[in-house]
Amino acid sequence: MSSPGPAKIPQHVAIIMDGNGRWAKARGLPRLEGHRRGVETVRTVVDAAREIGIRYITLYAFSAENWKRPADEVSGLMGLLDYFLKRELDNLIKNRVRLLTIGRAEALPANVQRELNRVIEATKDFQEWTLVLALNYGSRTEVADAARAYAAAVQAGAEKLADASWENFNRYLYTGAAGIPEPDLLIRTSGEQRVSNFLLLQCAYAEMVFTSVLWPDFGKADLQAAVDEYGRRERRYGLTTEQIKSGPA
Ligand code: FPP
């Protein structure tokens, strides 16, 4: 009998954490209670990702569109972010996890920016594990920001228009600029099957796993199940199965 071979572990997993509101509603609790439970899941999942061997984990914590939610929910989410950063600093240092953000962080409340900068600075030398928080993030604003930066580089003579290519443009995306690799696996919880303006270009070849589990209920076993599902998929990048099996040309 042939052995199953080593398990395929995705290097980068991106997660759309959805279902906090429904989790709370089902229990007759305020929406913010769902987000509060969602923060507990964040710690569980970051720890689990490390145990599984996932080097990068990106969490869609606040989208560029989330500002349109009721003011008390927005301020509640900002409060939770501040609380999370204060509480997790020691844990991230202990586990040698680097924190990065993607998105327009400059629009976040000053206290949240201060905490973010503190944690980013304290963890910046860790290389093995990376937690990326997508904050005030949207793919379309990311593309607009990258296009502006690329055009400015062309104007300044640092880039040539004739060299415009995906590889060169990619370096101006938030992820490319920070050296974050493309996600191998995108997970969305709560049964919704949408990408919602999250890492649209970077997920061009990502495997997608949609689970009906609500984010506050998501745990290590659910993450492992998604990783197992990823391991069963064949990533072809436009090639045929035969080409993949015969190895690089
Ligand atoms: C989606 O659930 C979740 C969000 C918009 C926010 C996610 C935020 C957290 C998990 C807490 C803060 C994060 C960190 C990293 C501290 P939803 O409210 O859209 O749920 P629903 O679709 O059931 O209403």
**Annotation: CATH topology of 12-139+175-246:** Undecaprenyl pyrophosphate synthetase (3.40.1180)
Does the pLDDT of residue 3 top 80, yes or no?
no
Residues belonging to the chain: 249
pLDDT of residue 209: 98
18 has catalytic annotation = yes
Active site residue 168: no
**Nearest residue by C-alpha to atom 18 in ligand 1:** 21
**Predicted pLDDT of residue 11:** 98
Residue 2, pLDDT > 60, answer: no
Taking the CA of residue 19 as reference, the ligand 1 atom at the shortest distance is: 23
Ligand 1: distance of its center to the CA of 3 in Å? 41
Spatial separation of the C-alpha atoms in residues 62 and 77, rounded to whole Å: 8
Enumerate the domain spans of the chain: 12-139+175-246
Does residue 239 carry a pLDDT above 90? no
Long-range contacts of 1-9 (CB under 8 A, 24+ apart): 7/227, 7/228, 7/231, 8/230, 8/231, 9/52, 9/53, 9/54, 9/227, 9/231
Distance 87 CA to ligand 1 centre (A): 18
State the Cα angle at 37 between 31 and 41, rounded to 5°: 135
Q: Is the pLDDT of residue 51 over 80?
A: yes
Q: Looking at 47, 66, 111, 217, which residue is catalytic?
A: 66
**What are the pLDDT digits (tens) for 114-169?**
999 999 999 999 999 999 999 999 999 999 999 999 999 999 999 999 999 999 99
Q: Is the pLDDT of residue 5 over 50?
A: yes
pLDDT at res. 249: 58
pLDDT at 6 over 60: yes
- Mark residue 179 as left, alpha or beta (left: phi above 0; alpha: psi -120 to 50; beta: remaining): left
